[in-house]
Amino acid sequence: FYEEKHSRRKLTEMRSGTHCLRIETGRWEKEPLEQRICKVCVCGPIEDELHVLLDCYPYEKLRQQMFQTILVKTEYDPRLMLDDREWLKDFLLGCGISDSITRVEVSRIVGNFFKKVLRRREKILREVSRR
């Protein structure tokens, strides 16, 4: 029960902009947008929800697991919509799904993805700070 509650909390934080990604923490610190780059992949993009959901390469295995789980549980294949990033973001964050059963299932899966990603992010950033 705790794990599911924690996953839902992480998804809610992503939806509401109360998460620990640089897009938000930089805003709190009045850091210019262009300086809020991802410190995990260090490729230059701003660390925002879309970057974490679809692009940041250290999370690729987790992302593919998430997509596969969504396909198995709902018969939707998010990979087919990779070209429509805004639609995919809405789908993954639960905003673009009219069927409530599917929306709940996708939300559960994506929340679990965010929980794993944030745990991995914390570990990577800890290792980077030690160097």
**Burial class of residue 21 in the structure, from the number of CB atoms within 10 Å of its CB (0-12 exposed, 13-18 middle, 19+ buried):** buried
For position 29, what pLDDT does the model report?
A: 86
Angle of CA points 46, 12, 58, to nearest 5°? 40
pTM for the complete prediction? Answer: 0.85
Q: Quick check: 2 pLDDT over 60?
A: no
Cα 56 to its chain centre, rounded Å, is: 10
74 sits in which H/E element = helix 60-74
What pLDDT, in 10s, does the model give residues 23-70?
A: 888 888 899 999 999 999 988 899 888 899 999 999 999 999 999 999
Handedness of CA 44, 47, 48, 53 (dihedral sign): positive
Residue 120 banded pLDDT, cuts 50, 70, 90: very high
What pLDDT, in 10s, does the model give residues 61-99?
A: 999 999 999 999 999 999 999 999 989 988 998 777 888
Q: What is the mean pLDDT of the chain?
A: 87
Residue 110 banded pLDDT, cuts 50, 70, 90: very high
Q: Quick check: 1 pLDDT over 60?
A: no
